[in-house]
Structure 1
Amino acid sequence: MNQEYNPILAFLRENQTEIAESWFAALKELDDRKYSELMSDSAYMNTAQDFINVLLQHMEGTAENHDQLVTNFSSRLVQAGWSLTFITKGVKQLGLIIFSKMTEDAAEEDKMKLVWEFDQNFSPLTEELLLEYAASWERTVSLQKIALQELSAPLIPVFEHITVMPLVGTIDTERAKRIMENLLDGVVKHRSQVVLIDITGVPVVDTMVAHHIIQASEAVRLVGAKCLLVGIRPEIAQTIVNLGINLNQITTKNSLQKGIEAALEMTNRNIVSTGELV
């Protein structure tokens, strides 16, 4: 098809700017200010022109790195926060704009001849774009998930041989596994003698969460360190008692400050006041 005259391709080349402007206006109407508040008009227009360029190269068959062009364009849409629904509606609108402008003065029988050819040129790229968008979205979500997992259970050295693991948010089985791994790796890496698990930011401590904490404490003990559970709020203490959870094997404190004081005592150190500075 690339060697023969292609009326759709010729029309796109001649009317590229006008089509981009019409599509830009249509996209602005579709988005209902959801994306236009985040993107400038120039960024919006550049996105419209970029896709039309990708469409031209797709129809011409001249781009050696066509797949990469589509992948890069899809990634930019993901980064801009465009939803799959908005992109689908937007691409459909572009197709309507191109076809209606092409057939504006055409006879009815000529319009019917162009329908099949237009679909053969436009649909494959649309499908490829949506597939690449979905793949880019999955990659982005996967990377974000990995980053969140790495940040979800950090082990922070605060004094020599004393480390703190602040926990924030809900603890599920997958996160509990990450907590265990980070604890054991961190104890060895930092040569910790005392580890403080701070649950101040954990909204709910149920039987499962308590079980994971007990397991983590036991694992820390097996590698030669002691574990303190700190940040136990009154409502958490009441829940633990009501559930009949046994934390007798774990030293507990109601705040991180008291936990650090206890950890210093365990490592034969004390906080000493030097008096007021003059």
Structure 2
Amino acid sequence: MNKKIAHYIKTHEEELLEDWIKHMKENSDERMISTVSSQMYYNTSKEFLDIIVSSFLDTNDKYNEKVANFSENIVRLGWQITFLTKGIRAVSLIIYNRMIDEGNYTPEEVNQLLFDFDKWLTPIYNQLIEAYSATWERTVSLQKIALQELSAPLIPVFDKITIMPLVGTIDTERARLIMENLLTGVVKHRAEVVLIDITGVPVVDTMVAHHIIQAADAVRLVGAKCMLVGIRPEIAQTIVSLGINLNQITTTSTLRKGIEAALAFTNRKIVSLEV
């Protein structure tokens, strides 16, 4: 990088940081800034500028480590990639304008300065974007796995009785997960009755009903009984109007009634004790 640029950044770091923070606050999404304290925003901004400066001071390994850590911090804060793209453009614009205002450059030197800026910042831009994208993809992948584990949990509530509460829409991928968790859980918990609670499922159409019927059939094949609970009146009307046959599945309107039926199936019942 041009030695003049390097020297200028090192000798005006605090001034550049102040100008950059001011520029970013004026041109960034207020919601992004409001998610962190002023001190956190200052520290993050200083870390960003430090990466710019470090590009010509640190070794490659140390610099790459800084970029990776900074990208993780940005993703953890929930800041968009535009923070980086706008930030790099702002840095180059601020440094360039200050150098032009304070220096006495010939037209040829100005052109050379522009060339040096582009040659210096393009690799930084590409590396930061790549690091951010990789971190974001890894974070989203981990979140997806966690959500999948929570989207179809099988919960043992009594001996030989388990419940799978479902919330939200059911697509083909989630239906596959439901099937896997049901079969694995039935064997693991030695369940004799499995209650699928659809109280939190907003729509039960032909596809959803088909997946539920398949799950019930699979549960029967491993020696357990499947019950469908939480059928609201509007869901019942939809099932009837669509001509969906649930005759092979025991259904109840509430989870409480489903548990009572499951206990009866295992020769137990809930009784009130007199104090």
Smaller-chain TM-score range? over 0.9
TM-score, normalised with respect to structure 2? 0.95
* RMSD (CA atoms): 1.3
Aligned to 1:22: 19
Distance (Å, rounded) in 2 between the aligned partners of 1:43 and 1:111: 36
Answer yes or no: is 1:194 the counterpart of 2:198. Answer: no
Distance (Å, rounded) in 2 between the aligned partners of 1:48 and 1:57: 14
- From 45, 50, 56, give the equivalent of 2:47: 50
Report the 3-state secondary structure (helix = DSSP H, G, I; strand = E; otherwise coil) of the residue aligned with 2:163.
Answer: strand
CA deviation string 1:187-220 (max 9, x = no partner): 0111100000000000000000000000000110
Aligned to 1:88: 85
Distance (Å, rounded) in 1 between the aligned partners of 2:114 and 2:126: 17
1:85 is displaced (CA, Å) by: 2.5
1:123 is displaced (CA, Å) by: 1.6
Aligned to 1:211: 210
Distance (Å, rounded) in 2 between the aligned partners of 1:78 and 1:99: 29
Report the 3-state secondary structure (helix = DSSP H, G, I; strand = E; otherwise coil) of the residue aligned with 2:56.
Answer: helix
1:20 is displaced (CA, Å) by: 0.8
Gapped regions of structure 2 (runs ≥ 5): none
1:108 is displaced (CA, Å) by: 4.0
Distance (Å, rounded) in 1 between the aligned partners of 2:174 and 2:218: 16
Distance (Å, rounded) in 2 between the aligned partners of 1:71 and 1:62: 14
Report the 3-state secondary structure (helix = DSSP H, G, I; strand = E; otherwise coil) of the residue aligned with 1:165.
Answer: strand
CA deviation string 1:96-141 (max 9, x = no partner): 0111112223324222221111111112101111121112111111
Aligned to 1:156: 155
One-letter amino acid matched to 2:241: N
Distance (Å, rounded) in 2 between the aligned partners of 1:169 and 1:262: 25
Distance (Å, rounded) in 1 between the aligned partners of 2:126 and 2:65: 15
Percent sequence identity over aligned pairs: 57
Report the 3-state secondary structure (helix = DSSP H, G, I; strand = E; otherwise coil) of the residue aligned with 1:60.
Answer: coil
1:68 is displaced (CA, Å) by: 2.2
Aligned to 1:225: 224
The answer to whether the 8 Å contact 1:194/1:228 transfers is yes
Distance (Å, rounded) in 2 between the aligned partners of 1:249 and 1:150: 28
TM-score, normalised with respect to structure 1? 0.94
4+ long deviations beyond 6 Å: none
The answer to whether the 8 Å contact 2:72/2:132 transfers is yes
Q: How does 1:1-278 map to 2 (within 5 A)?
A: 6-106=3-103, 107-109=105-107, 110-275=109-274, 277=275
CA deviation string 1:21-59 (max 9, x = no partner): 111111111124222211112111111111121122212
1:81 is displaced (CA, Å) by: 1.6
Distance (Å, rounded) in 2 between the aligned partners of 1:32 and 1:171: 34
The answer to whether the 8 Å contact 1:84/1:130 transfers is yes
